[in-house]
Structure 1
């Protein structure tokens, strides 16, 4: 089914993108080698409503706006690629699907492995001229993964279960 962009889609995505920027750049914690945010909540909602492609696009827009308005480091295209892939993963796991413990955990695990444990260390090694085996890159990343995996999975599950999806999608009907 081909989706047609409508006013409700644009405004809903705009609000979720704004929420992602605020949660990432203002509320989140960021250091040279580690970033902890709660952007996964609006990203999961976007994934539920719009699917992988549009969630990836929304995550890229949020990343670019966040960098333009609240840059905390130099721009690196790899992290924008991470944003698209992460958004697509949320869309893949939650678009037109019920939120269950299984898909909440699998989504979080997939994002953690692909983004946090594969791509981000590569980008950091390139950006800061560190060897990929450096504990400067791996120590905070591994600790974050162990702590955030259950926290993120639980938050995704509980938020996903309480959202009134039928009411939200009623105004977001896409026409062919």
Structure 2
């Protein structure tokens, strides 16, 4: 009996399915559309949740960390190219952040039911690694401000938004998974 493939290889194998490619492309397009339209949940003018992250998290949940990383890369680069506000120029650090986010969502959500604990750990790990560490590092480099100067405000924002982001992730991920299973149950894999 062949050893079970590791999670990255299984995820890469998902790309052999035209269905996986189409669904991934649709969710990338949906994420870009929401970002370009500025669809966000505003708690205050400074505190807002961009809901596009659920598209990348959904891809990673359905198809794993490898596809999640590719989705993060694609979404970030296409978002930059399509954005009317890209006067500052392209910075690859934020692309690295998007790739790592896809990796983390895939590791925590792939091949499992998106339970509240899994959503908490997935979103918390993305907030700590991507939002607090990587994005603070990129901002410090780009704007010549100290990492430790930027961190407290970013920490406060991420702590305040975490419960709402987890709730959004849990609700949307369960809806996506339920609809995916309903639409494709009993059908032959493409």
Q: TM-score range by the shorter chain?
A: 0.7 to 0.9
Cα 1:144–1:115 shift into 2, 3 Å: same
Question: 4+ residue stretches of structure 1 with deviation over 6 A?
Answer: none
* RMSD of aligned Cα (Å): 2.4
**Matches of 2:154 and 2:16 in 1, distance apart?**
38
Q: Between the two structures, name the one with larger relative contact order (CA 8 Å, sep ≥ 6).
A: 1
User: Gaps (5+ residues) in structure 1?
Assistant: none
Judge which range, 116-125 or 4-13, deviates more: 4-13
Which residue is equivalent to 2:95?
80
- Kindly name which structure, 1 or 2, has the bigger radius of gyration based on alpha carbons: 2
Contact 2:49 2:165 in 1 (8 A): no
Which residue is equivalent to 2:59?
46
Question: Does 2:121 match 1:106?
Answer: yes
Taking structure 2 as the reference length, the TM-score comes to 0.79
Contact 1:60 1:80 in 2 (8 A): yes
Contact 1:59 1:83 in 2 (8 A): yes
Which residue is equivalent to 1:122?
137
User: Gaps (5+ residues) in structure 2?
Assistant: 41-46
1:55-70 equivalent positions in 2, closer than 5 A: 55-70=68-83
